[in-house]
Amino acid sequence: MQWDKKYALGIPVVDTQHRQLFRLSNELDAKLQAGIRPEEIDALLTHIGEYAARHFAMEEKYMAESDYPGLAEQQETHQAFAKCFVEVYEEFKKKGLNPEIVNTLRRELTDWVREHVTGLDQRFGTYYRDRQASAKKHASP
């Protein structure tokens, strides 16, 4: 799935990270399909895990600063992803790249990223833009 500007929340730093997460998910998908060496998958997974953690922290900071009522729900889903990520990663380290792990990685990780960004995060985008618009309205004479 390709990034589209309709997925933008209107927060440049968060949108850049979302675009990069799409790119990383697509890269992981392509590498899993191509049957690339496990060492490369390992490096890519490590990168995705770190990148996602940094991104969640940044996104939650914006949510907290704008008093977003959906913050707790987002924190929960971000934590659930992180937990699932660690579990799949450990499974991969133990068993290597068997078809089951490939499936889990594709379904639970890459699909999750895309669904999250195009789903739950969009609600925050709408909230954030409305808030910005009304702040602007009140600021004008």
Contacts with Fe ion by CB under 5 A lie at 121
Q: How far is the CB of 140 from Fe ion (least distance, A)?
A: 31
Q: How far is the CB of 40 from Fe ion (least distance, A)?
A: 27
Q: Which residue, 41 or 63, has its beta carbon nearer to Fe ion?
A: 63
Q: How far is the CB of 98 from Fe ion (least distance, A)?
A: 30
Look up residue 2 and give its DSSP letter: -
Largest CA distance in the chain: 65
- How far apart (Å, rounded) are the C-alpha atoms in residues 66 and 60? 10
Q: Which residue, 29 or 121, has its beta carbon nearer to Fe ion?
A: 121
Q: How far is the CB of 139 from Fe ion (least distance, A)?
A: 28
- Which parts of the chain are beta strand (E)? none
Q: Which residue, 60 or 91, has its beta carbon nearer to Fe ion?
A: 60
Q: Please report how many Cα atoms fall inside a 13 Å half-sphere around the Cα of residue 47, on the Cβ side.
A: 13
**Sign of torsion over alpha carbons 8, 11, 19, 119:** negative
Q: Which residue, 31 or 123, has its beta carbon nearer to Fe ion?
A: 123
Residues near 87 by Cβ (< 8 Å), separated by ≥ 6? none
